[in-house]
Chain A
Amino acid sequence: MEKVIEVKDLSFGYTKDMILEHVNFSVQKGDFALIIGDNGVGKSTMVKLLLGVNSPTSGEILISGKKVRSLKDSRIGYLPQNGGSRAAAFPATCEEIVMSSLYKEIGFGRFAGKKQKEKVQKALALVDMEEKRKALIGELSGGQQQRVMLARVLAGDPEVLILDEPTVGVDAESVDRLLHILHHINIEKKVTILMVTHDIDKVGPFANRVLCLSEGACNEEALPQAEIIHAHAHSHPKGEGAHIHCANCEIDHVHDREHCPECRHCEAYHDHGHTHEVIREHVHPHHHDRGEVRKEEK
């Protein structure tokens, strides 16, 4: 598999004290990877390093094979933490905000054309916000604002999407909707996703890889149920016709959609009978060797 993000022996600190030490991990094309960890372990710092906002003290980051310094040339989309609520005080329409992501395509000192306007409509349609295109972002709910911010990122046709805690401050229903949109983008549009999150219970089932930042290092983890769902989504195209029993609402239904039509829970998740229990597989940070895996139950 093609590696989209490669972090090699990365160390970083704002002062002499290192926040991240000898971190190694990679994200492959098509992954829906999560970065988890306690507050202050350096999750957002890692995102800033990936985006090229900060430079590593040592080590390197490659995005699509290029050093992170040349990030402006790569195809990365970034959705910041509380992006929607930060935008709320800005007097702009959803259309104007989404258009701002097409800067590179439009060019310095030039104006948007028909092609860019069509892209904006498509991006808003992708997040089901087409009807609100003329609405001021400040007049939308938190979940809707977050979807507009996602449309803004998607309008630029990114190959990799980096999201920093996109579910924070968003109600449960909106989180569910946002995650299904991300799942659709990941599966249908083949966009690689790397998400920093605390919300492992909700996001976990949609991901296929979990990276845990702890004490300055990055540990590769496994979320068995998440991998099953991710693989399931890849291997069972819509309309295959298999009958699935939804453990949540106790109804058998034809497997012609990704989620139970009654309760909207992911049938594969319940079908396999997994709970939210996470089996963690810690890899020694300094020796990124699968042979040194130790397991613990959480």
Chain B
Amino acid sequence: MPSIFYYAYMQRALLVGFLLALLVACLGTVMVHKRLSLIGDALSHSSLAGVALGLLGGFNPVIGAMAACVVAAFAIEGIRKKLGNHSELAVAIVLSTGIGLAGVMSGFVKSSADFNSFLFGSIVAISKFETRLVIVLAVVVLFSFFLLYKELFYISFDEQAAAISGVPVGLVNAIFTILTAVTVSIAARTVGALIVSSLMVVPVAGAMSVARSYKSTIVWSAVISVSSTIGGLVLSFYCGLKPGGTIVLISVLWFLLLHIWKWAAGTKTIGKGA
């Protein structure tokens, strides 16, 4: 069997997978610590409604997915503020709306194959245009994340105290929401809507068991996410497996191994106190 690097489509898949894994890990760390672990689910399901709209309206489904994700993300932020102590319900409400709309609209889509490619992704069928789009996205998201690192840390830690200290919480949240929505919609096209949300949470959960600071949580999340993605692509290429599912299962394996290692080493769990 020829090397994985022999094929241009696999080179693109590895590059796009590497960049998206890096982005999703950075954004996922903030989401998990904002107690919005399921936001990825809500956005990726909402992106399907946008995909269906794009396919029905005759425009690029990725654009439709992006628009749907941005609307859904702002809807979550808006509902979250209104619900106060039950703010976590905002994610469930938007997720349900997304599924409902996607379900109804997909019934009118003639080619179900196009729609299904967004459900499970098609990372090995990425066009040159999509590769360039991911590179631009990666530069913008990573630069913004680096620039807003301090603000995002403070908001994740204590949003109210951050606001009192003068952090422009509304602006930072809006920027983060847009970055997340755009990343999820593009990641849905490549690794699949059903898998992107797992990649946002599982590497962070694994990282939290070994990290010794917030910074190292991000680094560990990135390491787990990137290694799972590259490992999943390589394994799927040589073993004939579905890449999306393989990527997620490897990240789950990382999570289990790190927890077993921590248990064996007797390390304390974050949040249990002394």
A interface, CB within 8 angstroms of B: 51-53, 71-72, 76, 78, 80, 83, 85-93, 96-97, 100-101, 103-104, 106, 108-112, 134, 136, 138-142, 144-145, 156
Contacts and interface: CB of A to CB of B under 8 A. Distances in A.
26 contacts: A52-B164, A53-B160, A53-B163, A72-B164, A80-B158, A80-B160, A87-B158, A89-B270, A90-B214, A91-B213, A91-B270, A100-B153, A100-B154, A100-B162, A103-B154, A103-B162, A103-B167, A108-B151, A111-B150, A138-B269, A138-B272, A139-B268, A139-B274, A142-B273, A144-B274, A145-B273
A64 to B, nearest CB: 15
Interface string B78-106: 00000000000000000000000000000
Contacts of A134: 212-213
A52 B153 CA distance: 22
B150 A103 contact: yes
7 closest A-B pairs by CB: A89-B271, A138-B270, A92-B214, A141-B274, A72-B166, A100-B154, A93-B213
Contact of A71 (B150, B164, B213, B271): B164
B157 A139 contact: no
Contacts of A51: 164
Given A76-B164, A138-B268, 20 more contacts: A72-B166, A80-B160, A83-B158, A85-B273, A90-B157, A91-B33, A92-B214, A96-B153, A96-B214, A103-B150, A103-B166, A106-B150, A110-B150, A138-B270, A139-B273, A140-B274, A141-B273, A142-B273, A144-B274, A145-B273
A109 B148 contact: yes
A88 B269 CA distance: 10
A96 B215 contact: yes
A103 B166 CA distance: 8
Given A108-B151, A109-B148, A96 B213 contact: yes
B168 interface: yes
Contacts, number: 101
Contact of A108 (B161, B162, B168, B269): B168
B165 A103 contact: yes
Interface of B: 33, 147-148, 150-151, 153-154, 156-158, 160-168, 208, 211-215, 217, 268-274
Contacts of A108: 151, 168
A138 B272 CA distance: 6
B166 A91 contact: no
A108 B152 CA distance: 11
Contacts of A109: 147-148, 151
Contacts of A53: 160, 163-164
A140 B162 contact: no
Contact of B213 (A52, A78, A89, A136): A136
B273 A136 contact: no
Contacts of B151: 103, 108-109
Contacts of A52: 164
Contacts of B154: 100, 103
Contacts of A72: 164-166
Contacts of B272: 88, 138-139
Contacts of A86: 158
Contacts of B214: 90-93, 96
B161 A78 contact: yes
A7 B154 CA distance: 30
Contacts of B161: 78, 80, 101
Nearest to A92: B214
Contacts of B163: 53
A119 B151 CA distance: 19
B213 A92 contact: yes
Contacts of B215: 96
Contact of A104 (B33, B147, B165): B165
Contacts of A85: 273
B163 to A, nearest CB: 8
A136 B212 contact: yes
A203 to B, nearest CB: 22
